[in-house]
Amino acid sequence: MSKYSGIPVSNGVSIGKAYLLDRSKVCVVKRSLAEKEIPAEIVRLREAIQMSKDQLRDIKQRASSVAEKYAIILDTYTLLLEDDLLVNETIDNIKQDKINAEWALSRTLDKFTSLFNNINDDYLKGKRDDLDLVVHGIIKNLIGHHQESLVDIDEPVVIITHALSPSDTIIMNKAFILGMATEVGGKTSHVGIFASALGIPAVVGVPGLTQYVNSGDMVIIDGLDGEVIINPDEDTLSHYRTKQKNYLRYERKLLDNITLKSETMDGHTVQLMGNIESAHEAKAVRKYGGEGIGLYRTEFLYLGANSLPTENDLYANFKSVVQSMEPYTVVIRTLDIGADKQLQQLDHETEANPALGLRGIRLSLKKPDIFIRQLKGILRASLYGRVKILYPMITSMDEVREANHCLEQAKKELKRAQIPFDEKIPIGAMIETPSAALTVDSILNVVDFISIGTNDLIQYILAVDRINENVAHLYQPYHPSVLKILRQVFETAADKGKHVAICGEMGGDPMATFLLLGLGTVHELSMEPHSIPKVKKILRKVTLDEARKIADHALSLSTAEEVNQFITNEMRTRFPSDFDRDLAFGEKSA
C-alpha cells in the first residue's frame, strides 16, 4: 500500500480499479534542415495543426450531450490552435534556426510556459495546462503517435493521468467514472469544476502519480482530504468504505436545508447565491437552494468565441440567465480578463507583469466600444428580471466614475433606439485590491453595493500567488491583515448603509461562515452552487452575538496560524459532524 497527497477539488470518496491514461510527453528529437526543406516543414506543421482541429471537431460531434460550459472550453482549445502567436512563432523558429517542426514547437511552448508562470491569476494560469495539452497533441500528430481516447471505457474505473483535458471529460462515459486524480492542476482546474458538477471525487496536483500506478490497481480517491491510496490493505479499504458510505449519507442530509430560510438563529438574513460561468450552471444554483446569482463571470462568452460577441449575442445569453433565475437577482460582472491572456481579436502589447497590468476594468475602459456593447447587452436583459452590474478590479472612485460614464453612454444609445431597460439598475464595485479596500468610503459614494473578491484581495494583501507551489503555503485567508481589512470594509459599508456581498472562495467556505458573520454586516454570500447547503446549515445554527465574539477574539490574535487553529477548534467543537474528520464519517454524521 502507498499513499500520496494532492489538492482536493471535488468532495467524496471513490474506490475502484485504476485506469491509467497515458498523457506522458513524447520524446522530441532535434533535426537540422536544409534551406530547401523549410517550406515542406511548414506545410507539415500546418497539416498537424489541422489534424488536431479535425480531432477536436470529431470529439464534439461524438459527444451525444455536451454541456454549454464544456462546449465553450472545447472551442477555446480550437482557438489556441488558431492562435497567430503560437503558429507564427513556431514558423519563425523553423525558418530562422532551420529546425524541424517538433523541435520548433517545443521551443515555442517553453517560451509561452515561462510567460504563464509569471501570471498571478488562478483561472488564467490554469490555461498553461490547456496550452501544454494542445501543443503536445500537435506534436503527437507530427510524429504519428496514437491519440488515446476515453470514449471506449465500458466499466467502472478511477482515472489516473498526468493531465485531463476538457475534450477528455466531454467524451468519457460519466456513468463509468468513479473518481479522478491528476499530477497537475490546482483549485481552479476545470477537472474540479467538471467533477464537482457530476459529484465525482477528484484530487489534482499529485506529483509523479502515474509512475506509481498501473491499470487495474485498486485505488482510493479521497476528495475530502486530498489523498490517493494505491493498493490499500484490508483495514484501510474497510475504513474508506465506511467513510464513503457515511459521507454520501451526510451529503443527502445536507439537501434537507435547501428549502429552509438562510438566516441566523436571531433572525439575520443572509442571501446565499451562486457563482457561475455559463448559462447552463444557473440550474445548479436552483438545485442547491441558491437565491440568485451573485457572480456571473462573463469571460467564457469572449474566450470561447471565434469573434467578439455582438450586443445581441450578449443580450440573448444574459436574458436567458435572468429569466431562469426569476424572481431572484443576477449580478453580472463585466469582462474581467487581462493582458496575460488576450482576446485574439484585440491588438495588445506584451507586459512584464500582466497581473498588475491592463486587466479587469482597466481593459474595459481602454476599449470602451467593447465595454459599452457589453453594458447594452446587460441593460437590455434587465427588462426581464432583477439585474445588477458589477465592475471588476476597481482601485479607485475615479475608475467607477469613468465606468459609469460609459454606462450612461450605453443608456443613451438604447434610448435613441427606443429599447427599454431598467433605468435604475444597481451598480457595484468588486473590492479585490488593497487600494479599493482602503478607499472604500469614497467608492461607496458612487456605487449601490460592493462585492468582495477574497481570492485576489488576499493575494494582493499578502503578495502571494496561491497556486505557485513555492509560496502557496503563505496564502492565508485568516491572516490578521486580511481580517482587519475585511472588518474595516464591513464597518465603512454599514456606516454608508450600503449592501455588502462576498463572492470569493471565503464566501463559500463553511469553516469561514461564522467568522465572516462576526466581522461585520454581510448581506450576501456567493459561492459555487454545491457549497450552498453546507453554508446554510452553519448559518442557521449561529447567532450574530456569538459570531461577533468569535471574530473579536480572532482579531486579537497575532498570527495566521493562531487564527486558523482557533477557528478550526471552534468549528469542530460546535459542528463536529461537519468539521471533525474523526466524527464526520462515523455514526454521529447520520
Catalytic residues: 190, 503
Q: What b/e readout covers 491-504, taking b as 16+ CB neighbours within 10 angstroms?
A: ebbeebebbbbbbb
**What is the full DSSP assignment across 353-411?**
-GGGSSBTHHHHHHSHHHHHHHHHHHHHHGGGSEEEEEE-S--SHHHHHHHHHHHHHHH
Find where cell 537540422 sits.
Answer: 32
CA dist 34 and 486 (Å) reads 63
Find where cell 455536451 sits.
Answer: 66
CA dist 94 and 44 (Å) reads 11
* Measured CA distances, 409 to 137, 416, 426 (Å): 46, 11, 16
CA dist 33 and 27 (Å) reads 19
Round to the nearest angstrom and report the end-to-end CA distance of the chain: 30
Quote the DSSP letter at residue 199: T
Burial class (CB in 10 A: 0-12, 13-18, 19+), 346: middle
Q: For residue 455, which amino acid is it?
A: N
Distance of CA 400 to the CA centre of its chain: 25
CA dist 305 and 374 (Å) reads 14
Specify the long-range contacts of residues 492-499, CB closer than 8 Å, at least 24 apart.
492/440, 492/441, 492/444, 493/440, 493/444, 493/450, 493/520, 493/521, 494/520, 494/521, 496/441, 496/444, 496/445, 498/444, 498/447, 498/448, 498/449, 498/450, 499/428, 499/448, 499/449, 499/450, 499/523, 499/524
CA dist 438 and 171 (Å) reads 48
